[in-house]
């Protein structure tokens, strides 16, 4: 396994796992990559299906709503009409831009990357052979 | 029935039907709002809305007379609404965000088309309908426009 920056991580299981880890921060997760399932190591929570945050808009939108509930607003745009999506995040409590212009080819991927950055995650663990181009 | 401005139209089958008609304006559709169904004799729509496919009605000699599809819930389901952002030919510089309410805009012919709503899907489809030049939606008289 190797660690790569969020901005270079392609959509897929590794990024989705990173979201699950951010959501269960403090828990040690046991991941079944093949079947896209995870459990907490103490088995208090077992066999949760890993949502396809980075590829499907509906689960990605849950992340937008989750951040909003924490007063972190996400602006999603394709301003240059280049089919590249950008996310801007603003913390409404102090009106501070906490991250800006996180780009991706698709909206779910941009949302997932922005969510992870909002959670303080900078790197994602991926298989050594993962292509980051 | 009464006509109300797009920005006052609540989420529901009436605005979903307006989206379907605007999206497939070149195809004649018959929409059953009560059951959330679309009937059409055009195979093109069936191909593009595969997930909404239900079945077909055939004539006595076995020829297909019309196809039946589900009316997608554009106004309440983000996955359906997102198809309009990503794949309905209106995707000119879309921008979507939420402060107190959800905001969505598209650039169409250099003009900014914008819309606000309580949910993201509703904001998206209101902007989509405006981008398609639709300003009013027909709703039952008793519809509450808040």
Interface ipTM = 0.79
User: How many domains is chain B partitioned into structurally?
Assistant: 1
Q: What is the pLDDT at residue A81?
A: 56
CB-CB contact of B104 with B95 (8 Å): yes
Q: Which residue has the tokens 């304006």?
A: B25
Q: What is the pLDDT of residues A23-34, one digit of tens each?
A: 988 788 888 888
Measured CA to CA, the distance from residue A41 to residue A112 in angstroms comes to 24
Q: Is residue B146 part of a domain?
A: no
Give the CATH number, domain containing residue A50: 3.30.2120.10
Q: Is residue B144 part of a domain?
A: no
Q: Which two tokens stand for residue B70?
A: 């589900």
B107 to chain A, any CB pair closer than 8 A? The answer is yes
Give the CATH number, domain containing residue B72: 3.30.2120.10
Q: What is the pLDDT of residues A49-96, one digit of tens each?
A: 999 999 999 999 999 999 988 888 888 888 665 557 888 887 766 666
Q: What is the pLDDT at residue B19?
A: 92
Q: What is the pLDDT at residue A84?
A: 77
Q: Which residues of A touch B (CB under 8 A)?
A: 56-58, 61, 64, 68, 73-81, 83, 88, 92, 107
Q: What is the pLDDT of residues A1-17, one digit of tens each?
A: 899 999 899 999 999 99
State the average pLDDT over residues B66-82: 88
User: How many domains is chain A partitioned into structurally?
Assistant: 1
Pair type for strands B102-108 and B111-117: antiparallel
pLDDT-derived band at B127, boundaries 50, 70, 90: very high
Q: What is the model's pTM?
A: 0.83
Q: Is residue A63 part of a domain?
A: yes
Q: Identify from B77, B89, B95, B112 which residue to disrupt to test chain A contact, counting A C-beta atoms within 10 A and taking the largest count.
A: B95
């Amino acid at each position: 396994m190797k660690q790569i920056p969020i901005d270079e991580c392609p959509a897929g299981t590794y990024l989705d796992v990173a979201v699950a880890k951010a959501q269960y921060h403090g828990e040690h997760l046991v991941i079944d990559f093949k079947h896209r399932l995870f459990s907490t190591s103490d088995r208090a929570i077992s066999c949760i299906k890993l949502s396809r945050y980075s590829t499907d808009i509906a689960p990605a939108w849950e992340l937008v709503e989750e951040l909003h509930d924490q007063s972190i607003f996400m602006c999603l745009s394709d301003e240059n009409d280049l089919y590249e999506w950008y996310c801007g995040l603003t913390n409404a409590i102090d009106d501070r831009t906490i991250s800006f212009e996180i780009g991706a080819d698709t909206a779910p991927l941009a949302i997932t990357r922005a969510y992870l950055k909002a959670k303080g995650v900078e790197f994602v663990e991926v298989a050594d052979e993962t292509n980051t181009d | 029935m009464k006509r109300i401005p797009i920005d006052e139209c609540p989420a529901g089958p009436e605005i979903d039907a307006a989206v379907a008609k605007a999206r497939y304006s070149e195809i004649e559709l018959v929409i059953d709002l009560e059951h959330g169904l679309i009937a059409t004799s055009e195979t093109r729509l069936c191909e593009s809305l595969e997930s909404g496919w239900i079945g077909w009605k055939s004539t006595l000699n076995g020829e297909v007379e019309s196809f039946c599809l589900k009316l997608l819930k554009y106004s309440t389901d983000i996955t359906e609404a997102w198809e309009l952002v990503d794949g309905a030919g209106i995707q000119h510089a879309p921008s979507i965000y939420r402060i107190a309410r959800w905001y969505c805009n598209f650039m169409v012919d250099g003009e900014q088309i914008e819309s606000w709503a309580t949910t993201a899907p509703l904001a998206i489809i209101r902007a989509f309908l405006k981008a398609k030049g639709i300003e009013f939606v027909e709703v039952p008289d008793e519809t509450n426009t808040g």
